[in-house]
Amino acid sequence: MTYALHHAVLVIACPLVVPLLAHARWLRRVPHTAVLLWQALGLTWALSVVGLAFALGLAPYHLGVLPGLARAAADLTAGRLADRLIPIQLGALGAGLALTAMLVGALVTCTLEILGARRRHRRLLALVARLCPEAPGALVLEHPAAAAYCLPGMRSQVVVSEGMLKLLDRDQLAAVLAHEHAHARARHDLVLLPFVALRRVLPRLRLVAQAADAVALLVEMCADDLACRRHAVRSLATALLRVGTASGTAVPAGALGAATNPLAARAHRLLAPRPPIPWAVGGLAAAAAATVLATPLSLLVLPA
Amino acid sequence: MRRLGALEGAVMEVLWQRQRPTSARDVAQALAARDLAYTTVLTVLDRLAKKGFAQRTRVGRAWSYTPAAPREAYITQLMLEALNLTGDRDAALVRFARSVSSTEAETLRRALAAAEDPPVRRRRR
């Protein structure tokens, strides 16, 4: 029962941490660590939600979740599961299985949809995009609006529009391309994927949206930092500003949604850098996250 | 596979340039500089038709090909996805930036001007 309690505490605590992490400005100074914290938080929450249901359902076995499930499966085939578990426990067991199926299913469907969308996009790119000496390492789309993006995958592709080439000077364009190549190399799409999937399962939960938006912004900041290793901060910041304020790329009202604009946050961060966070603080935060995550993980296997 | 993919673009280019149905032989002639086998052009046209990028009609004993949609239509579609205007929030692409409102733009301009005033500060790493 103490284990179920532990899961229950985490199920409630994780959502409480979301606004704290989302509003912690200092995390933007260490975006890579911050992404790790969000991943740990998300995984901890998912594991403890599932773990809570299983811990309640499998309580009579006094085993961890995985060995307990094995024993329950054995009892089910032997036809004595109903003797071992009372109805409430059977219900909890069913809920645990349903939740697991829902989370895994969301991840799988989301991945398949994204892969399909990328395949279609890649196919069209092959038809109409061109190589252009002005944008080395990227494909160019002949369109006046300004856009730059990365099509991630095993063979990732960076794409810019002609509008973007007109908008930026050579250094700014190089910084933008470096930013996109950083996304591609670091496979930031895989970081975003579970949060996008979770948002699809729970589209109305504000906390989920908050977490997904925060991770998306942090991933951009990671790519900004990586791009600034080779390029002038000013070039990237100016590029952000120019793209953000360019006419012809106006996003319909409501499409942005966020109260504080992510683009503004990124530009401010680049233009007015705060002193770096001591290495130890980031390490400490990561260690704390790892500890919290370790408990639901260990309860999967350890006897209860 | 890769080569065929690149050829598809070149073949579509020919179809887009001609304003009328084009036979495989005409396409091969237009791409003579690439030194392609006629059968290769046939294969590519067949693939394009199967993917829905080209439509074919029988003219006499041979097929004639026309683009299913103008080039601009495909570019527009890609740009809509690039600018995330298709309506669904997905993670298929990782985009550089989106536009901001005019007041936010003003704040950004001021920040940029302020950063310009003192000797440009370099971000410490």
Chain B residues touching residue A159 (CB < 8 angstroms)? 78, 82
- pLDDT band of B115, cuts 50, 70, 90: low
Residues 141-160 of A with CB under 8 A from B: 141-143, 145, 147-152, 159
Q: How confident is the model at residue A209, as a pLDDT?
A: 92
Task: Give the highest mean pLDDT range of A63-67, A132-136, A181-185.
Answer: A181-185
Query: What single-letter amino acid sits at A147?
Result: A
pLDDT of A253 higher than 50: no
In this predicted model, what pLDDT tens digit does every residue of A78-94 receive, in sequence order?
A: 988 888 889 999 999 99
Residues 278-297 of A with CB under 8 A from B: none
Q: Please judge whether A179 and B78 are an interchain contact, meaning their C-beta atoms are less than 8 angstroms apart.
A: no
Q: Considering chain A, what is the average pLDDT of its residues?
A: 87
CB A252 within 8 A of CB A216: no
Question: Where are the alpha helices (H) located in chain A, listed in sequence order?
Answer: 2-23, 31-57, 65-78, 81-84, 87-128, 162-167, 170-186, 188-201, 206-228, 233-245, 262-271, 279-301
Residues 151-210 of A with CB under 8 A from B: 151-152, 159, 161, 176, 179-180, 183-184, 188-189, 192-193, 196, 199
CA dist A159 and A151 (Å) reads: 8
Q: Which residue has the tokens 């007109």?
A: A166
Query: What single-letter amino acid sits at B52?
Result: G
Return the structure tokens found at A113: 């949809």
Least Cα distance to B73 among B58, B92, B52 occurs for: B52
pLDDT of A244 higher than 80: no
CA dist A180 and B120 (Å) reads: 24
Q: Please judge whether A124 and B120 are an interchain contact, meaning their C-beta atoms are less than 8 angstroms apart.
A: no
3-state secondary structure of A274: coil
Average pLDDT of B22-44? Answer: 88
Domain annotation for chain B: domains and CATH numbers: 2-67 (1.10.10.10), 71-116 (no CATH)
CA dist A5 and A11 (Å) reads: 10
Mutate which: A131, A149, A162, A176, vs B, most B CBs within 10 A: A149
In this predicted model, what pLDDT tens digit does every residue of A110-124 receive, in sequence order?
A: 999 999 999 989 989
Q: Which residue has the tokens 């469907």?
A: A109
3-state secondary structure of A122: helix
- At B54, give phi and psi (nearest 5°): -125, 150
Residues of chain A above pLDDT 70, percent: 94
CA dist A184 and A191 (Å) reads: 12
CA dist A138 and A131 (Å) reads: 7
> Which of B81 and A152 is assigned the larger pLDDT?
A152
Edge-first strand order for the sheet with B54-59 is B22-23, B62-67, B54-59
- pLDDT band of A257, cuts 50, 70, 90: very low
Average pLDDT of B88-95? Answer: 71
Which DSSP letter does residue B1 get? -
3-state secondary structure of B57: strand
Q: Please judge whether A127 and B9 are an interchain contact, meaning their C-beta atoms are less than 8 angstroms apart.
A: yes
- Parse chain A into domains and list their residue ranges: 1-128+277-304, 130-273
Average pLDDT of A126-155? Answer: 90
Count of residues for chain B? 125
Q: How confident is the model at residue A248, as a pLDDT?
A: 45
Which DSSP letter does residue A60 get? G
- pLDDT band of A38, cuts 50, 70, 90: very high
- At A89, give phi and psi (nearest 5°): -70, -35
Residue A100: CA count within 13 A, CB half-sphere: 15
Average pLDDT of A120-146? Answer: 90
Q: Please judge whether B122 and A188 are an interchain contact, meaning their C-beta atoms are less than 8 angstroms apart.
A: no
CA dist A265 and A178 (Å) reads: 19
Tell me which residue in A121, A126, A266 faces B81 most closely, judged by beta carbons.
A121
3-state secondary structure of B58: strand
Q: Which residues pair with B62 in a beta bridge?
A: B59
Chain A residues touching residue B123 (CB < 8 angstroms)? 228, 233, 270, 273
Least-confidence region, from A11-15, B26-30, B103-107:
B103-107
